[in-house]
Amino acid sequence: MSTAIELAHAWLAQDPDAETRAELRELIERAEAGDADAAADLDERFAGRLAFGTAGLRGELGAGSTRMNRVLVAQAAAGLAAYVLERAGTDAAADPLHAPLVVVGYDGRRNSDVFARDSAELFAGAGLRAVLMPRLLPTPVLAFAVRHLGAAAGVMVTASHNPPNDNGYKVYLGGADDGSQIVSPADAEIAAHIQRIADAGDVAALPRLLGYEIAPESLIDAYIDETAAIAPAPEGAADLKWVYTAMHGVGWETLSRILEVAGYPAPTLVSEQIEPDGAFPTVSFPNPEEPGAMDLAFAAARDAGADLVIANDPDADRLAVAIPDDAVEGGWRRLTGNQTGLLLGWRAARRATERGFEPGGSLACSLVSSPALEVVARHYGLDFHATLTGFKWISRAPGLVFGFEEALGYLVNPETVRDKDGVSAAVAMLGLVAEARGRGASVSDLVAEFESTFGFFASDQISVRVDDLSVIGRIMGALRARHPERIGEVAVSQVDDLLEGADELPPGDVLRFWLDDGSRVVVRPSGTEPKLKVYLDVRGDSADDADERLRAAAEGVRALLDELE
């Protein structure tokens, strides 16, 4: 009997889920009967385990240790509970009144509610005070809850904008971490506890209790009030025509209540995408960045004569914005994450200046996001921080006033949510647009005003999707072994290898190339998908000049990658 079949039998014995048990039993029977495809499938499912890291867990649903399922979630919950108790130095069994609190949220993906209830029961069984959110809600509401409740930790069951058959387990820490996502060394320490639980062998033996609490509605009310206060509707908001899509996710219920409190007009809804649906029937990939994902929203905007389209991803931690543009097919254009982030960062810097900020107040973005944010920060006398990718790093920037990442993530209210928040970002954008309308300006006018004030910046991204992850390692290795002297026609003037440390950043698998003309090229593996990502940023003397420099840089990068693949 193969090792994979032995592991599958052991897994089957502890799996509480009828669906994945049936799935696994059928594979075992086929493999034992000599079916090579079934044997290969089992080998892949038990080739290791879904790694727990700084993104928590994320993967395809299904039976096996490399999939997301109730066994893996039980191991993760029990491991996290052990870590929280160890960190608190609390013997919860001896002092239950002072047990650390862990709050659990979930979105509308398949099995999110099941994984959340399992986690709450296991946290309670471990002696923690477990609080389950009252229904499916956006990820930023869970991030808010960690701070608002003074929780030791929080878990959000979501795979954000991943494909429909994925799910995940995102972990936040309270206390000194202030409600941010986990970073090293906490990820490795939690992973070690999870591995110990997994090695013990039987999640059915883990203690469970139904005595967890349900979070009160007052918690959601507090998030709504705090978020509405970011940008109460100004003059010019009443006649704003806009379209909203939740991308089959959980954003609309919460956002709709905020709009009422803040005083904004109701949008035209993309009705086909407004209710949570984990099958995501109208999109092949539920990510507003993907081609075609916003087509229904654009159609609704054309019919409504809208000024603006706003989209959240399925767990509402990201925001996409689109505006009318007669120069593109269909008449609507989605702003890039950099364009939206720079407009929101400009707004945040102005407001910080008007209100008066403490010394050390800062704007922050990931090192693959537009360098124009630093120009904005310096213009207003704010500090600037470039971080590794991910809001687990951006949220920890000292003196943070605003942070963003080009992948449609924006942190506009760091006093309440220490993570990207597509709901609060939507409110901030509505405020920005309504204020501009009050003086007769459009979003396109705002972009032009930004360029006239700070300069002409252009950005692009090239992704190389692979079937074999070793290809990414080979390309990164080749670039490290021999740095390119030129990218296209422009000489490379400096190379930063973040594995060796740079700009006081933690080590990371990132290469940054500075070119003689001031352009920048950053290369890194994706943290969530089998992709190599290349980010290009240029600055020009005009919009056309910046576009031309960007085109030349992209051609140079593609030629370089063709040589290395």
Query: In the structure, what pLDDT confidence band is assigned to residue 338 with cuts at 50, 70 and 90?
Result: very high
Mean pLDDT rounded to a whole number for the chain: 94
The active-site residue, picked from 65, 112, 119, 160, is 160
Query: In the structure, what pLDDT confidence band is assigned to residue 527 with cuts at 50, 70 and 90?
Result: confident
Q: What is the pLDDT of residue 92?
A: 56
Answer whether residue 98 shows pLDDT above 70: yes
Determine the Cα–Cα distance for residues 443 and 127; give it in Å rounded to an integer.
52
Residue bearing tokens 């920037």: 397
User: Token digits for 269?
Assistant: 């809804």
Say if residue 507 is preceded by a cis peptide, omega within 30 of 0: no
Q: What is the pLDDT of residue 53?
A: 80
Q: What is the pLDDT of residue 398?
A: 95
Residue bearing tokens 């060796």: 500
282: left (phi over 0), alpha (psi -120 to 50) or beta: alpha
- Average pLDDT on 305-334 reads 96
For the stretch 129-188, pLDDT in tens is 999 999 999 999 999 999 999 999 999 999 999 999 999 999 999 999 999 999 999 999
Rg of the chain over Cα atoms, rounded to whole angstroms, equals 24
User: Could you tell me if 144 and 223 are in contact, meaning their C-beta atoms sit under 8 angstroms apart?
Assistant: yes
Q: What is the pLDDT of residue 89?
A: 87
Q: What is the pLDDT of residue 91?
A: 61
Answer whether residue 303 shows pLDDT above 90: yes
CATH for the 240-334 domain, from 3.40.120.10, 3.40.47.10, 3.10.110.10, 3.20.20.110: 3.40.120.10
Query: In the structure, what pLDDT confidence band is assigned to residue 333 with cuts at 50, 70 and 90?
Result: very high
Percent of the chain whose predicted confidence (pLDDT) is above 70: 98
CATH number of 54-220: 3.40.120.10
Query: Reduced to 3 states, what is the DSSP secondary structure of residue 230?
Result: coil
Q: Cβ contacts of residue 122 below 8 Å, gap of 6+?
A: 74, 77, 78, 81, 206, 207, 208
Answer whether residue 302 shows pLDDT above 80: yes
For the stretch 33-66, pLDDT in tens is 999 999 999 999 999 999 888 779 999 999 999 9
Return contacts of 451-454, CB within 8 angstroms, 24+ apart.
Answer: 451/543, 453/379, 454/342, 454/346, 454/372, 454/375, 454/376, 454/379
Active site residue 459: no
Q: What is the pLDDT of residue 97?
A: 73
More confident of the two residues 82 and 500: 82
Domain residue extents for the chain:
1-47, 54-220, 240-334, 337-454, 456-564
Answer whether residue 1 shows pLDDT above 70: no
Task: Give the single-character DSSP code of 244.
Answer: E
Q: Which residues are 168's β-sheet partners?
A: 58
Q: What is the pLDDT of residue 508?
A: 86
Query: Reduced to 3 states, what is the DSSP secondary structure of residue 279?
Result: coil
| Of 109, 116, 114, residue with least CA distance to 167 | 109
Determine the Cα–Cα distance for residues 180 and 400; give it in Å rounded to an integer.
13
Query: Reduced to 3 states, what is the DSSP secondary structure of residue 535?
Result: strand
Q: What is the pLDDT of residue 236?
A: 77
Which CATH architecture does the domain made up of 456-564 adopt? 2-Layer Sandwich (3.30)
Task: Give the single-character DSSP code of 100.
Answer: P
Same topology between domain 240-334 and domain 337-454: yes
* CA of residue 13 relative to chain centroid, distance: 35
- Domain covering 337-454, topology: Alpha-D-Glucose-1,6-Bisphosphate; Chain A, domain 3 (3.40.120)
- Average pLDDT on 521-549 reads 92
Q: What is the pLDDT of residue 90?
A: 55
Number of neighbours of residue 470 by Cβ within 10 angstroms? 9
- Average pLDDT on 390-399 reads 96
- Average pLDDT on 486-508 reads 87
Element (H, E) at 506: none
Answer whether residue 530 shows pLDDT above 60: yes
First to last CA, the chain: 39
DSSP assignments along 127-193, one per residue: T-EEEE-SS---HHHHHHHHHHTT-SEEEEE--TTS-TTEEEEEEEE-GGGTTEEP-TTHHHHHHHH
